[in-house]
Amino acid sequence: MIYPPSSAPAGDWLGDAAAVALLTFDLDAEAPVLAAGEHYAADLSAMSHQAYGPRVGVPRILDLLGAYGLKATFFVPGVTAERWPRTVERVLAAGHEVALHGYSHRPLPDMSRDEQARDLERCLGALADLGVEPEGYRAPYWRLTRETLYLLPTCGILYDSSLMDDDRPYRLHLGGEQIAELPVHWSLDDWEQYAFLPEPDIGERIENPRDVARLWTEELDAMRKTNSLCVLTCHPFLSGRPSRLRAIEDFVQFAGECTDVRFSTASELAKLVL
Amino acid sequence: MIYPPSSAPAGDWLGDAAAVALLTFDLDAEAPVLAAGEHYAADLSAMSHQAYGPRVGVPRILDLLGAYGLKATFFVPGVTAERWPRTVERVLAAGHEVALHGYSHRPLPDMSRDEQARDLERCLGALADLGVEPEGYRAPYWRLTRETLYLLPTCGILYDSSLMDDDRPYRLHLGGEQIAELPVHWSLDDWEQYAFLPEPDIGERIENPRDVARLWTEELDAMRKTNSLCVLTCHPFLSGRPSRLRAIEDFVQFAGECTDVRFSTASELAKLVL
Amino acid sequence: MIYPPSSAPAGDWLGDAAAVALLTFDLDAEAPVLAAGEHYAADLSAMSHQAYGPRVGVPRILDLLGAYGLKATFFVPGVTAERWPRTVERVLAAGHEVALHGYSHRPLPDMSRDEQARDLERCLGALADLGVEPEGYRAPYWRLTRETLYLLPTCGILYDSSLMDDDRPYRLHLGGEQIAELPVHWSLDDWEQYAFLPEPDIGERIENPRDVARLWTEELDAMRKTNSLCVLTCHPFLSGRPSRLRAIEDFVQFAGECTDVRFSTASELAKLVL
Amino acid sequence: MIYPPSSAPAGDWLGDAAAVALLTFDLDAEAPVLAAGEHYAADLSAMSHQAYGPRVGVPRILDLLGAYGLKATFFVPGVTAERWPRTVERVLAAGHEVALHGYSHRPLPDMSRDEQARDLERCLGALADLGVEPEGYRAPYWRLTRETLYLLPTCGILYDSSLMDDDRPYRLHLGGEQIAELPVHWSLDDWEQYAFLPEPDIGERIENPRDVARLWTEELDAMRKTNSLCVLTCHPFLSGRPSRLRAIEDFVQFAGECTDVRFSTASELAKLVL
């Protein structure tokens, strides 16, 4: 058996909404470039491409969220917390949730069980140094393993957000423990739309932000009929650019006009699921 | 000589329609990921990405087909039949056709003649366990070989749906036997529009479903002038997502409005061809 | 020195037109697949994908050209002439020009000088068997070498259509000889828009034909201001599909409405240039 | 520490504009193809694809800039200056800025410190032969290294334009020296939209120029709110094609209509920053 047993949410996660939307931001910064090879540190352009996220993208995203009175969830790799502590503190100060995104942003399936345990421990430590006790986890590159999944409840983690076999939340039963799963999907992620960097190769797409907003809002609209959970995932180094911020704003405005879409943080939703 | 001899349909497959449309679904689930390497079973995210098909996509597709009173053809790999028997039973209970899609979803050209024969035998066995006597075959990845093609009539198969040298059905003469060919094309498949998974790499495209619907309906519209067969191929793990279901619905609605497009199952059409 | 010397056309190639358009078709059929590896002959789906061109695409294209009273130029690899002689005869019978496209469709830079000479000789022989004395050449994959270029005048060839350093025709001086160059470009080719075949990998794009027509007509429109030569290149295995034929028809109709665009065959134009 | 220290511009670079736009052109010509391998010189088609830039693209771009009374910045690799001196002279004669783009267009991270120093020296020499004393530098492929960056002030260079960690200019402090950084981004470059060449592989995209213009103008429009610097980067071998010139013209016209966007050369802006 590959998957652990799962079951429907224990609580009424939907309430009187037709769909629930989470705004999540993966604060990767330089982590994916360094995970691809330490020597990429010598490529100032590639490094600066990533540094745009914490330097410029995050402050703009915080302004946007503030203007709409929304709380979001930021998944932060340990290396980013260490490199950009002031940025993480600004996120916290604005009242947003900060959660785990691994330490090194290396893919878990490439690590042994021990390496995975160490990676988890180190990212917990890096967030603890900033006073954060995270309640959630998201695997780097959305590549979760059974090994790390079973470690999560032992660290006080309430939810994971890395699986794709549903578009509604559910519970995962891990031995005597359970956690909530808040499923994601590639089509609601900005990486597949905007990531362009040839060396290291992190993608080669530059879609028009208006088209991206249309992709996202049409999925949210359809999810109102299927009563689904819409987990939007953005990366400040990508979506912090001026016209891309507008795509997020389009999404937020569309959701607001629907009147039957509820925004939530991942942590709040996980507690309803459990 | 590479191709076996072929000839025009024996019967009036078109009737008084201007074009015929088949709705076909390849119920791949985890098969393509496991065929790329058994070790991918350790990547829960990749596995869950595929499991969305039988878990969530198929029930929604059955609802959609039911709402429009349409019968479709589901091509099911043997491994999917073994992993998700309840899902296949639901498809059968709703009155749809279930046909062969190989056992392991490995490409036939990568297998010896013996391996191909065994793969065919095993997928027949897996469907027989669910009470299915399939009448049709579709090669994994649309990569049919001469070896497997010549085996098909010996298993009672009436038609194949994997070749691309026409957009109208025809007969293939295989020694003393004949089968119908119901040709396919990449442009009428959802894989090339939506498949995104980096590891294993099964594609990197996330098109807007409305644009995909436009691609498909414009081809169907043009096929009304060329009196062609429009074989739409969808994968529940891809097209089961909320806004993508609407692309299928757009296609079905457009075909209905044409009034001169007839829907058929693959099996019904094959019998007219033969 | 890499390029041979060049000079402006000797004659008035533009006349009173604002731009000249050539409709050219590369009748590749199975040649590119077999050139990628003889073992691909065992993949009936890949082979049939290519065979669609001569079987279905060419007759439809001839009908379209006939309906608009247009003459086109078909570049035919030797292997296609040998595999599909009836198709080439139909093209000739409809009054279109047939020209050289190499024998094997292997890239010239991968061949020695001797192999290139033999490839050229064999494609001349294959067309001679069908009664054709070709006046033009186009390198497979638009990858022309100096070796083959200098051989062209010795075979009675008047023009090449494989270079990209201009969008107006010019003369190339090759020792004491000269030929006309009718330059091409990727953006006026259907391969980059439609070619999708994973094994062998000949591309992975499936654009909407209406969008392709828009790309081509906007370039033609802009070329009316720059007084350029618009060499449209299509492949019957790609553009013979129903809705893609409409993209060619859109282009032809747009050119007709312009009233200042003249259609020509490559051969007629080359004679004006020389 | 990887990055050198940076600080905000010393002068008022924005003035009373809402955003500043730079039109920059990388005059690569054959350099990237030859950098990928000297043997590509034998592929006349690939070479001619690149030669279109200096032969046809630059004169048209100069006409366009002249018609709108705009001054631009041309980054010229040393090899291009040597191969196409007349083209560079035309650019200078029209009053535009010419700046450094390396000698060989090889990526700096692939070179040792000594090779980088030699490459910089050689491109200075090649431009000096044309009477140019360049004030700016842009790394090939936007891949700047610390080694080359620290050499720039020693050569009299006032600014770099290769980093991506901001969309507003800033100062970089390099030991006792400082230079201005005028940051770029992939989404404001034509390479990612138009570059198509399979051998050597420099890209495989052919976007519609109208869509590209929309991408650029929407970013510029959003930058008027964030008071940013919009560095448009085009390549004459790509954007010199007829309908692509219109995309540049669309951008220029949109900027003009905004009335609060100021055009500048890179050099003028760098002096305000410093």
Query: How do strand D19-26 and strand D229-234 relate by DSSP bridges?
Result: parallel
pLDDT, tens digit, 9 for 90 and up, residues A108-122: 999 999 999 999 999
Whether residues D165 and A49 touch (CB distance < 8 A) is answered with yes
- Whole-number mean pLDDT of chain C? 97
Q: How confident is the model at residue D259 (pLDDT cuts 50, 70, 90)?
A: very high
The beta strand positions in A112-258, using DSSP E, are: 136-137, 159-160, 170-174, 177-181, 196-197, 203-204, 229-234
Q: Give the model's pLDDT for residue A229.
A: 98
Proportion of chain A above pLDDT 70, given as a percent: 99
Using N-to-C axis directions, what is the helix angle for A209-226 and D209-226, rounded to 10°? 90
pLDDT, average across residues C208-233 = 98
Whether residues C47 and B167 touch (CB distance < 8 A) is answered with no
Q: Give the model's pLDDT for residue C27.
A: 98
Q: From the DSSP assignment, how many helices (H) and strands (E) are in chain A?
A: 12, 12
Residue A154 DSSP label: G
pLDDT, tens digit, 9 for 90 and up, residues D161-186: 999 999 999 999 998 999 999 999 99
Q: Which among A46, A208, A243 has the least Cβ separation from residue D211?
A: A208
Q: How confident is the model at residue A249 (pLDDT cuts 50, 70, 90)?
A: very high
Q: Give the model's pLDDT for residue B98.
A: 98
pLDDT, average across residues D26-33 = 97
Q: Is the CATH code 3.20.20.10 the one for domain D16-273?
A: no
Q: Which among A143, A183, A219 has the least Cβ separation from residue B243?
A: A219
Proportion of chain D above pLDDT 70, given as a percent: 99
Whether residues D44 and C193 touch (CB distance < 8 A) is answered with no
Proportion of chain D above pLDDT 90, given as a percent: 99
Q: Measured between CA atoms, how close is D127 to chain A, in angstroms? A: 24
What sign does the dihedral C67-C71-C75-C80 (CA atoms) show?
Answer: positive
Q: Which of B30, B45, B249 to mutate to test the interface with A (most CBs of A within 10 A)?
A: B45
Cα–Cα distance, B220 to D195 (Å, whole number) = 32
pLDDT in tens, chain B (274 residues): 478 999 999 999 999 999 999 999 999 999 999 999 999 999 999 999 999 999 999 999 999 999 999 999 999 999 999 999 999 999 999 999 999 999 999 999 999 999 999 999 999 999 999 999 999 999 999 999 999 999 999 999 999 999 999 999 999 999 899 999 999 999 999 999 999 999 999 999 999 999 999 999 999 999 999 999 999 999 999 999 999 999 999 999 999 999 999 999 999 999 999 9
pLDDT, average across residues C97-111 = 97
Chain A residue whose CA is closest to D204:
A204
ipTM score assigned to the predicted complex: 0.96
Contact B210, A218 (CB under 8 A): yes
pLDDT, average across residues A54-67 = 98
* Angle subtended at Cα B58 by Cα A264 and Cα C205, rounded to the nearest 5 degrees: 85
pLDDT score of A1 more than 70: no
Domain boundaries, chain A: 16-273
pLDDT score of C2 more than 80: no
pLDDT score of D197 more than 90: yes
Q: Measured between CA atoms, how close is C247 to chain D, in angstroms? A: 15
Q: Which among A149, A166, A187 has the least Cβ separation from residue B206?
A: A187
Q: Say if D and C touch: at least 3 Cβ pairs within 8 Å.
A: yes
Whether residues B219 and C208 touch (CB distance < 8 A) is answered with no
- Alpha helices per DSSP H over B43-171: 44-52, 58-68, 78-83, 85-93, 113-128, 146-151
Whether residues B165 and C48 touch (CB distance < 8 A) is answered with yes
Q: Give the model's pLDDT for residue C187.
A: 98
Distance between first and last Cα of chain C: 24
pLDDT score of A2 more than 90: no
pLDDT, tens digit, 9 for 90 and up, residues A198-230: 999 999 999 999 999 999 999 999 999 999 999
Q: Measured between CA atoms, how close is B141 to chain C, in angstroms? A: 9
Structure tokens at B55: 């878990």
Alpha carbon of residue C80 to chain centroid: 14
Q: Give the model's pLDDT for residue A239.
A: 98
Cα–Cα distance, D141 to C257 (Å, whole number) = 43
Whether residues A243 and D219 touch (CB distance < 8 A) is answered with yes
Q: How confident is the model at residue C3 (pLDDT cuts 50, 70, 90)?
A: confident
Residues of C with CB under 8 A from a CB of D: 2-3, 107, 109, 139, 141-146, 149, 162-167, 183, 185-187, 192-193, 211, 214-215, 218-219, 221-223, 225-226, 228
Whether residues C198 and B223 touch (CB distance < 8 A) is answered with no
pLDDT, tens digit, 9 for 90 and up, residues C155-199: 999 999 999 999 999 999 998 999 999 999 999 999 999 999 999
pLDDT, average across residues D92-100 = 98
Contact B190, C206 (CB under 8 A): no
Q: With contacts defined as CB-CB under 8 Å, which chain B residues touch C196?
A: 186-187, 192
Whether residues C43 and B187 touch (CB distance < 8 A) is answered with no
Q: Measured between CA atoms, how close is D51 to chain C, in angstroms? A: 5
Q: With contacts defined as CB-CB under 8 Å, which chain B residues touch C79?
A: none
